[in-house]
């Protein structure tokens, strides 16, 4: 939901940068790979160490600029099927690094308690959801259904998960972090169910 609004803002913001990159010969795929590498590096270095608000700000800048590759593609190649495949695939690596690192924080930095246990369980479920939500859409498209719906897009999940962690790092109770991860886990499950239901209602089961 948030992603739909954020993409239009990011497009307007980063169009001048995309023009500069196009002039110097930078390709959309280069931007995609660089963005993913930065996301993974920041997530696994900062978050498990407890540098959450610092890592969160850096990740927010990188992810806000995620539309640069798309804007650049429209200016140059017009967008390719491989570029779309690469972008979607590397997004999964970035998501896994973020939610995996949040879970690692719970394992290594939180005191032994029911809150810590809950955080670990919610974190693991969030990792699974980060893979299951886009997989449901991809599999639906492979059978001819565009199931681009659900209460929690990628941007929503990242903002809530990282936002809750940053609030905790700034002094709020640990249960705020846990509730954020719990929302991500539950919203991911609901989104997968929505896409399954939508696909079941719209799939063409006629003879091939």
Cβ contacts of 34 within 8 Å, gap of 6 or more: none
Annotation marks residue 91 as catalytic: yes
Catalytic residue among 66, 69, 87, 91: 91
Three-state DSSP state, 27: coil
Q: Determine the Cα–Cα distance for residues 161 and 183; give it in Å rounded to an integer.
A: 8
Is the distance from CB of 146 to CB of 201 less than 8 angstroms?
Answer: no
CB neighbours of residue 60 within 10 Å: 15
Cβ contacts of 48 within 8 Å, gap of 6 or more: 101, 104, 105, 108, 109
- Of 5, 150, 19, nearest in space to 74 by CA: 19
- The residue written with tokens 């002094």 in the block is 171
CB neighbours of residue 183 within 10 Å: 18
Q: Determine the Cα–Cα distance for residues 33 and 141; give it in Å rounded to an integer.
A: 24
Is the distance from CB of 109 to CB of 48 less than 8 angstroms?
Answer: yes
Cβ contacts of 156 within 8 Å, gap of 6 or more: 1, 2, 3, 187
Q: Which residues are tagged catalytic?
A: 91
């Amino acid at each position: 939901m948030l992603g739909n609004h954020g993409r239009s803002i990011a497009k307007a913001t980063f169009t001048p940068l995309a023009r500069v990159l196009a002039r110097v010969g930078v390709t959309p795929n280069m931007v995609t790979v660089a963005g993913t590498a930065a996301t993974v590096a920041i997530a696994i270095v900062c978050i498990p160490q407890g540098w959450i608000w610092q890592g969160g700000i850096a990740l927010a800048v990188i992810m806000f600029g995620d539309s640069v590759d798309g804007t650049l593609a429209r200016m140059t190649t017009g967008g390719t099927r491989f570029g779309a495949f690469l972008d979607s695939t590397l997004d999964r690596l970035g998501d896994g690094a973020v939610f995996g690192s949040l879970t690692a924080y719970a394992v290594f930095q939180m005191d032994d308690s029911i809150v810590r246990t809950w955080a670990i369980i919610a974190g693991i479920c969030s990792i699974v959801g980060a893979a299951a939500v886009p997989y449901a859409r991809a599999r639906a498209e492979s059978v001819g259904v565009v199931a681009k719906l659900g209460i929690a897009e990628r941007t929503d999940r990242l903002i809530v998960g990282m936002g809750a962690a940053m609030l905790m790092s700034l002094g709020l109770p640990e249960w705020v972090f846990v509730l954020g991860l719990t929302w991500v886990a539950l919203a991911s499950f609901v989104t997968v169910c929505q896409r399954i239901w939508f696909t079941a209602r719209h799939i063409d089961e006629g003879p091939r």
